């Protein structure tokens, strides 16, 4: 029964945890390592973890591991080399068929979004990724980050405003 429950949740959340880690770390190989470590820890705590708290717990562990990993990279001066290099690969590309213009625009916009997310403070990055990219509810984000829901709402509002401002400035500069 334990193995079945574990497999079910791994199948359900492995891609979402990987995507979160990729956004946060900016490196798919490091994200794979973090994702694997999340599920190792999940297995170790499976007996004591309540099913309805599994999702926020997984994202909280992923966030903490990403922060730890990020600190290690930063201390080794490797962070700049790996920062957000392929973090938007997991987003679905629009169906642009054979239209190279649309494909180029999509790639450009993804790079702009990546840059706008990278400019946010860490807590706002986490909230934007969990809410807007991973699709977690405000309550789930609050639980995953162990932050009051009203604080999550404020940070989300600030993050959106900051991204909007940065994107408008960036796009205005690019097109002028």
Give the angle subtended at the CA of 9 by the CAs of 117 and 63, to the nearest 5°. 30
Q: pLDDT tens, 36-67?
A: 999 999 999 888 888 778 889 999 999 999 88
Predicted local confidence at residue 61, as pLDDT: 93
Residue 71 reports pLDDT greater than 80: no
Rounded to whole angstroms, the Cα distance separating 74 from 172 reads 32
Class of domain 1-87: mainly alpha
> CATH 1.10.1740.10: which residues of the chain?
1-87
Rounded to whole angstroms, the Cα distance separating 168 from 98 reads 28
Tell which residue, 164, 87, 152, has the closest CA to residue 123.
152
Residue 154 reports pLDDT greater than 90: yes
Indicate yes or no: pTM above 0.85.
Answer: no
Tell which residue, 133, 48, 122, 130, has the closest CA to residue 83.
122
Q: What percent of the chain has pLDDT over 70?
A: 83
Rounded to whole angstroms, the Cα distance separating 106 from 127 reads 23
> CATH 1.10.10.10: which residues of the chain?
99-176
Pick 82 or 47 by higher pLDDT: 47
Q: Does domain 99-176 have CATH number 3.30.565.10?
A: no
């Amino acid at each position: 029964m334990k193995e079945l429950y574990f497999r079910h949740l791994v199948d359900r959340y492995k891609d979402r945890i990987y995507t979160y880690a990729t956004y946060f770390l900016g490196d798919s190989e490091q994200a794979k390592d973090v994702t694997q470590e999340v599920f190792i820890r999940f297995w170790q705590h499976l007996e004591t973890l309540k099913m309805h708290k599994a999702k926020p717990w997984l994202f909280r562990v992923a966030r903490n591991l990403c922060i730890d990993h990020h600190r290690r990279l930063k201390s080794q001066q490797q962070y700049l080399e790996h920062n957000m290099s392929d973090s938007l690969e997991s987003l679905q590309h629009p169906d642009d068929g054979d239209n190279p213009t649309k494909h180029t625009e999509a790639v450009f916009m993804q790079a702009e979004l990546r840059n706008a997310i990278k400019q946010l403070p860490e807590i706002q990055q986490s909230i934007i990724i969990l809410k807007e990219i991973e699709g977690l509810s405000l309550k789930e984000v609050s639980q995953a980050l162990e932050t009051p829901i009203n604080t999550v709402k404020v940070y989300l509002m600030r993050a959106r405003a900051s991204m909007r401002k940065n994107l408008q400035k960036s796009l205005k500069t690019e097109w002028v």
